[in-house]
Amino acid sequence: MPASPAPASAARGTAYAILAALSLSHLLNDLVQSLLPAIYPLLKQSFHLDFGQIGLITLVFQLTASVLQPVVGLYTDRRSMPFSLALGMAASLVGLLLLSMAWTYGVLLLAAGLVGIGSAIFHPEASRVARLASGGRYGLAQSVFQVGGNAGTALGPLLAAFIVVPHGQSSVAWFSLAALAGIIVLGIVGRWYRDRLAASARAPARSRPGTVTPLSRARIVATVAILLTLIFSKYFYMASFSSYYTFYLIHRFGVSVAQSQVYLFVFLGAVAAGTILGGPIGDRVGRKPVIWGSILGVLPFTLILPHANLAWTVALTIPIGAILASAMPAILVYAQELLPGRVGLVGGLFFGFAFGMGGLGAAILGEVADHTSIEFVYALSAYLPLIGLSAALLPRLASR
């Protein structure tokens, strides 16, 4: 089992170089992926799309990733694939190149699907390698890994504003260099992962206390359902920003496309900051308090945002992004402790469900915007963090 070396990793200490490489590759991977929503205003104008069609592009990308990620995670729990990380980045590279020269709406959907396949292959195994390299500091490892993705997601819109918007759709091809760099980095990580697995296979078997949860199967299923409900509230709300925040700013405040991308970068930068804080805090005070405070604690800010002027809107997105993002590392490590030995399945299920809910949210909110207004979307979605009350039902695990 690929998950079995995890305790040995604690004895070896935290592999910071590998965590840094994973974070960098996650940055490059998500930078490539974030170009798709970042150029929505450009695609909307070029292909004469409505909000529903834009939501469908996001749905194809994120549901492709959502459906495949648990399958990939379940498979790699049984049979490790150290070089699948580079393979996932290669799939995203093909999708990126196709996006740069797409000539019909159908080709756009195909490109989005290929980028989604890249995500499905990359995330479960990368999450497993992060745990293996953690040295027992699981929250820290997940935060370092995930903050790379958040940073890439934040940089994508900013680079799109200064490269793609002025030079057009074909300039997306320049970002293939980032994908190529990611393939090289992930090849190095894959070799380290292969060698670590080989060394663990040669080592004598050890007893592994704490690998069995005391909860019943029914309680485990119920707890996973609660965690997925929290993921739903987080990513459904996040979809209003990733897909429609630029349109909201342009429509309500009359800012330019480039300005809207800069303001989106502010929000996504706050998301990155919240991610890096959530894991270490969870290591210190426990996962459940972080989950509880993150999902529900953002509510006052989301309720105020639809009524704020431009300056306050930008300011409010900082605590919204930081507080909301701090939950994901804690949720993922909590689920890994709940389902020991199923690291790939947990990574695939939760990352996949997150992508799926983001895609579903984008599609539904796009239709709502078409039939009402983009302002109504933000007024309605402001209440989603109330679902965070369900965190009170999470059991406190022995490990924290």
Cβ atoms of residues 36 and 43 within 8 Å: no
Residue 194: inside a domain, yes or no? yes
Residue 192: inside a domain, yes or no? yes
Residues 372 and 289: their CA atoms lie apart, in Å, by: 37
pLDDT at 400 over 70: no
Residue 400: inside a domain, yes or no? no
Residue 135: inside a domain, yes or no? yes
**333 is written with which tokens?**
């490590």
Cβ atoms of residues 141 and 16 within 8 Å: no
Helical pair 287-297 and 217-242, crossing angle rounded to 10 deg: 40
Residue 303: inside a domain, yes or no? yes
Residue ranges making up the domain that contains 344: 8-201+213-393
Q: Mind giving me the DSSP string for 237-248?
A: HHHHHHTTHHHH
Residue 156: inside a domain, yes or no? yes
Query: What pLDDT band is residue 200 in, cutting at 50, 70 and 90?
Result: low
CATH of the domain at 108: 1.20.1250.20
Query: What pLDDT band is residue 271 in, cutting at 50, 70 and 90?
Result: confident
Residue 399: inside a domain, yes or no? no
Q: What is the pLDDT of residue 296?
A: 76
In angstroms and rounded to an integer, the radius of gyration of the C-alpha atoms of the chain is 20
Q: Mind giving me the DSSP string for 81-118?
A: -TTHHHHHHHHHHHHHHHHHT--SHHHHHHHHHHHHHH
- The candidate with the shortest Cα–Cα distance to 355, out of 53, 21, 29, is 29
Residue 260: inside a domain, yes or no? yes
| 232-247 pLDDT tens trace | 888 888 888 877 888 8
Q: What is the pLDDT of residue 249?
A: 92
**48 is written with which tokens?**
């004469």
The domain total for the chain is 1
pLDDT at 211 over 80: no
Query: What pLDDT band is residue 355 in, cutting at 50, 70 and 90?
Result: low
